[in-house]
Chains A and B, each alone.
Chain A
Amino acid sequence: MENTPQITRRGLLRAAALAPMAGALAACATPQAQAPTSSAAPAATSAANPFGVDAKKPLEVWIFDGGFGDAYATDIHQPLFKTKYPDVAIKHSATKEITKVLQPRFAGGNPPDVIDNSGANALDMGALAQDGQLQDLGPLLDAPSWDDPNVKVRDTLDPAVVDFGTLDGTFLSVGYVNYIHGIWYSQKAFRDNGWAVPKTWDEFLALCETIKKSGKMAPFTYAGKHPQYLYEPLLTMAAKIGGNEILVDIDNLEDGAWTAEPVLRSAEAWAEVGAKYMMEGTAGLDHVQTQTAQNKYQVAMLPSGSWLENEQKTTTPDDFEYGMFPIPDVTASDKLPYGTLHTRPGETFIVPSRGANPQGGVEYLRAMLSKKAAGDFSELVRTVSVVKGAGEGRDLTPGARSATEALAAAGANTVHFRWRSWYAQLHDEAVAATGRLMSGGATAKEFVDRLQKKADELKADSSIKKYRR
């Protein structure tokens, strides 16, 4: 023992004992109130630089690596941004797990500058907004557009973007893609079999009957594992029968919003499809499996949105020719005319307010919303963007063209709902209830009653923040 070099040993032990203590400081699960990182004051603003971007400050961008990938950011948006700010170093990252990667950074007070907050694991906008973590993007709307200093950004966008991005009166997020919902089919299959796009619900049911009898394929399917794919047309149909206020009432958690007659009528209509015309095994298949079945001509129609064509590009036969039609007329006295569409700005971009370079973040969004960036994006990922006219003169694929034409035909008759992102609990309940409805485990009446009950519960729960539109 006496020969042991004591100091070294003790020093070692001391170090060993201290090492975890250092970790201890970082291992705190409880949030710590931090002095707000003071974002450096913006540089001088001008017409060309409306937000006062520092031409040397680095910019950190996180993209959701989903159906659109992240090449559009590195190949289109970032080079465009660089043309104006060549000295800004852009740190680009992509992930499928936005929340897991970035939630700790918000809690730690050092979020990045631009986030594509999308996908199944997106950050909760309500929670972020409640804590003032998001930059007010109002100035972006009133800033001159990237292309033309005489036109405001606001005037270049689909109006739904402003409505969708607004929480409690503040514009906080920019949806970049215009998701257009409808019933999707193969134009080739319809042409070859002499099937016509149905204009009324009776025609739709008759078509289902014809397809079923033909024995060539099943009439209808949906992503049974993810019944939100079906509550979407169900609610669009309810709005078509009873008018846009049906969806507004549901969003506002009004009493009796779900039990309203048009919602019940629509639920009955879809339950009938579920009982009679569904592809076998639908309830246990996901969106990829059902969409692939459609590509193999095993099923004729399914409800989806304008991302479908890009999502299926590897399994779609070359002559498949995706097409989309709107929800048919249900009654002779539907409140909204034929052609009414559910549109929804998606791929939500946000700028954290406590990041190092929020001015650069907003400027990045302004670049993204230029006609060139949006048009290149539409072409690359085969979809429709929210920038007006960005698809003009572009070489669009059949599905994207079909959706663009449907959107033009719909004109002002577009509807949307927002409760899905406002009240995640209600979404989960609606998913469960829709699955039950479509597999015959619940009647239309039970469906609406169940959702009304859940909506009433949420309304009464003081811990859940309420939104109105």
Chain B
Amino acid sequence: MFATYRRGLFILAFLAAPVTLYLVYVISPYLQAFYIALTDWRGVNATPAFIGFDNFIRLFADGVFWKAVTHNAALLVLLPLLTIVIALFFAFLLNVGREGQGVGGVAGSSFYRVVFFFPQVLAVTVLAVLFQQVFRPDDSGMLNAPLMALGMGPIGFLSDPDVAFWSVLGVMVWQAVGFYVVLFSAGLASIPRDMFEAARIDGAGRFSLFFRVTLPLLWDTVQVAWVYLGILALDVFAIVWVMTDQHGGPDFSTTVMATEIYRNAFQYFRFGYASALGVVMFFFTIGFAILSLRLSRRERIEY
């Protein structure tokens, strides 16, 4: 009796520190944000006034915030879709794409495997500054220089409000693909080789090998990737804040929820209102998590 009690106490003692840390630095700020959202706190004063749901009412009329929400929604659909398609394609080629006999990657696959992972190694801020130069709208821009040499006008990748969002999406996909190539490669490695070999012997080409064998067996991994990328799409901040003109511009054409929260808190000094935006974002994220958990319940394939 006493021994089990002591054992429980022992475990409790070990858990106390991490749980306390979690409560203090994660849960309690969350709860405080819910409270701050109901005040008019401006960040420097010690006694914010309680104003009920005013911030939430105001938020519904905030055109820029809803614009940001639509951008997050577009990213939520497009970022996973593009990244997964490209990463699957690369992973397939790197692992089972070889023409002819045997199962293996295309020529030079071990080299490409490393190259694809490069973008993942760079810090997001570095990436953002790098792409500002890549997208420069004059003849020092990596993309515009060849275009201008061909006699075409420069494209305002970041300065044209109709193009800027796609530039952001492009950079995010570019950066994410490498990691998912590795993830899918690992998934492929866990599929028994003889399945591919059997399919090959039965005369499957690369196309049917991918759609009939690889994709169904990788489905679990793809779902995980989808959830990760969905979260990435919802909490994107640094790349937009650092890379785009006017932090989410031009003309708010690339802004997302997180940048609007930051702008309201640290530029307009409306911490109460920014917390209200944060609370809304919290519910969007929770909603996405619940939805994706529901949808991804599916029987596993046992080999």
Contact = CB atoms under 8 A, between A and B. Distances in A.
Interface of A: 10, 13, 16-17, 19-21, 23-24, 27-34, 99-100, 103, 106-107, 109, 121, 123-124, 126-128, 130-131, 133, 224-226, 280-281, 283-285, 424-425, 428, 431-433, 435-436, 439, 441, 461, 463
Contacts of A27: 24-25, 28-29
B198 interface: no
Sort A-B residue pairs by CB-CB distance and give the 8 closest, nearest first: A284-B137, A284-B159, A131-B45, A281-B137, A281-B138, A283-B159, A17-B16, A124-B269
Given A283-B137, A425-B268, A107 B43 contact: yes
28 contacts: A13-B16, A17-B17, A20-B20, A20-B24, A27-B24, A30-B36, A31-B41, A31-B46, A34-B46, A107-B43, A124-B42, A124-B43, A124-B268, A131-B44, A281-B138, A281-B154, A283-B137, A284-B137, A284-B154, A285-B137, A428-B246, A431-B249, A432-B246, A432-B249, A435-B245, A435-B250, A435-B251, A463-B58
A353 to B, nearest CB: 12
Contact of A127 (B43, B51, B245, B252): B43
B47 interface: yes
A20 B18 CA distance: 9
A131 B46 contact: yes
A271 B137 CA distance: 20
A463 B264 CA distance: 13
Contacts of B24: 20-21, 23-24, 27
A439 B47 contact: no
B133 to A, nearest CB: 11
Given A29-B29, A284-B136, A424-B268, A463 B273 contact: yes
B46 A284 contact: no
A280 B245 CA distance: 17
Nearest to A293: B138
Contacts of A281: 136-138, 144, 154, 156
Contacts of A283: 137, 156, 159-160, 250
Contacts of B14: 13
Given A13-B14, A432-B246, A130 B42 contact: yes
B47 to A, nearest CB: 5
Nearest to B164: A284
A286 B28 CA distance: 41
Given A13-B14, A17-B20, A224-B159, A280 B138 contact: yes
A189 B161 CA distance: 35
A432 B267 contact: no
Contacts of A34: 46
B43 A32 contact: no
Contact of B267 (A21, A131, A424): A424
A32 B48 CA distance: 10
Contact of B46 (A32, A224, A463): A32
A341 B68 CA distance: 39
